[in-house]
Structure 1
């Protein structure tokens, strides 16, 4: 396996990436050439913010090929193009053979939600102190328990489920991997609707629920119908504001709304967006992120 490493400008990074895929590169990745320097720039933002640029001012483009000859041929072909005047070959280097599966798995360890509730990848043994275990492997959809927003939602579920009256219906809006829906099921919830605009998330949620031997209905958002004692949504602040009337309408009398994906500085805008229907408050915080909850009067 050999890697072709190129340096190119923001204007050409998309053309270069497309060209590499056209010549059958095994993979193509793009990085900031100025990463970890004073010139490093953020590239991506939230939905509703200005459109992200197509690349950094200077980008490193890495492409994998099965052989050195293929990598060299590709570099020669690229540099011959009229549009490639600012494309430069940094190196062609051999990539050591690795057990990529084992390497990937080593990056995902069991995640503690509470001392008794853990998320554990299938290749790990559950910790001895774990009373409840969710089996979850990295996949196509967002949600492995490593992000603060997910952990805060699951902590809230663990603190309000089981010992209290079980939730008769639950809505997980923007379910991703189904992690929150499964967490609710493990804590006594019934009749769970896990919905997402991404069909891959629907498939992922169904598979993860089966792996944990819990029941839920995964579907596109139109499947969310009626009122629920618990409504969960771990998305981002901008879509959460837009969804305020819809999500609030799904909260049953006496029911809870639990929102995440919100930065500390966005608390007031979320409170204002939901004020016509429910009074949000900050219930938890971690690493600059907050959990906001509300309860509809019974």
Structure 2
């Protein structure tokens, strides 16, 4: 957990001011709520001790509670339309009981930006193979790109920038999916399902527990002229030639019997979202059904695959 952003309004080009506060862990939530009520355009929270010996790591996998809910000291940054609003918010917050021993570190101007252009500049085309690329809508495909997926940053995970996504797509590009029935379990943006479509899959089912991901997959498929079915997990029925699941190690272990049941005899299982140190855990969890092995590795993440006997 590196930041807790609560953006209500996307700023357009213009002059903005940030109010910067230092608050204790217990004050973060009431202070953030108060800033929201004071019409802050956005509120972000970060570890005030980042990059020092006192820095704290907050992390956790789905279904597992984080070891700690917040940092001992947090830097809270609120964005306002103008300087007067930022200073008024500081004056109103300082005497409040819930502000406690918090400090107002200052109000500072934010340089004028073209926010849309700035956001777009952070997302470049992503190479999966020399001929297969993920390309945002505002870019032209690179020379030599024979297969292209158009994908912009959105609500659901999966833009091709994470190693786990790239490894799954690279596996599909190398092995193909011609004529196969494919299941993308935990589809996020639908990127793996669409990748399978680009390499010849005849029927594709993409499922996720998050309705926003299901809708994102549907819209992305339309934008890429790909035919697939997207829905909640109960949409996945029967056996598939290829089952893809890019989630995380803990839910992958829980899902082992379900995912393996969806792989037909002779079919392929491709799993990602796994750290290299977690390989033995996954091998053990899936041993009753398949023999997993590591088939790719990138930046400490691994891709594990198996063929159903």
Same fold (TM over 0.5): yes
SS at match of 1:282: strand
Query: Which consecutive aligned stretches of 4+ in structure 1 deviate over 6 angstroms post-superposition?
Result: none
2:261 alignment partner in structure 1: 249
Out of 139, 142, 164, the position equivalent to 1:149 is 164
Q: Give the Å deviation of 1:55.
A: 2.0
Out of 72, 81, 84, the position equivalent to 1:69 is 84
1:278 alignment partner in structure 2: 290
Correspondence 1:109 to 2:109: no
1:56 alignment partner in structure 2: 71
2:247 alignment partner in structure 1: 235
Correspondence 1:292 to 2:304: yes
Work out whether residues 23 and 74 of structure 1, in 8 Å CA contact, stay in contact via their aligned partners in 2: yes
Q: Give the Å deviation of 1:9.
A: 1.1
1:168 alignment partner in structure 2: 180
What is the Cα-based RMSD across aligned positions, in Å?
A: 1.1
Q: Give the Å deviation of 1:12.
A: 1.2
Q: Give the Å deviation of 1:54.
A: 2.9
2:45 alignment partner in structure 1: 30
Q: Give the Å deviation of 1:37.
A: 1.8
Work out whether residues 169 and 192 of structure 1, in 8 Å CA contact, stay in contact via their aligned partners in 2: yes
Q: Give the Å deviation of 1:36.
A: 1.6
Normalised by the length of structure 2, the TM-score is 0.93
Q: Give the Å deviation of 1:49.
A: 3.9
1:41 alignment partner in structure 2: 56
1:191 alignment partner in structure 2: 203
Written as runs of structure 1 = structure 2, the 5 A alignment for 1:81-92 is: 81-92=96-107
1:13 alignment partner in structure 2: 28
- In the alignment of these two chains, the number of paired residues is 294
Give the whole-Å Cα distance in 1 for the aligned partners of 2:305 and 2:279: 11
Q: Give the Å deviation of 1:50.
A: 4.0
Give the whole-Å Cα distance in 1 for the aligned partners of 2:140 and 2:43: 34
Work out whether residues 167 and 230 of structure 1, in 8 Å CA contact, stay in contact via their aligned partners in 2: no
Deviation by residue 1:10-65 (Cα, 9 ceiling, x = unmatched): 12112211111122211000011111222222112223544343321111101011
2:9 alignment partner in structure 1: none
Deviation by residue 1:116-141 (Cα, 9 ceiling, x = unmatched): 11111111111111111111111110
In the alignment, structure 2 segments of 5+ residues that lack a partner are 1-15
Q: Give the Å deviation of 1:149.
A: 0.3
In the alignment, structure 1 segments of 5+ residues that lack a partner are none
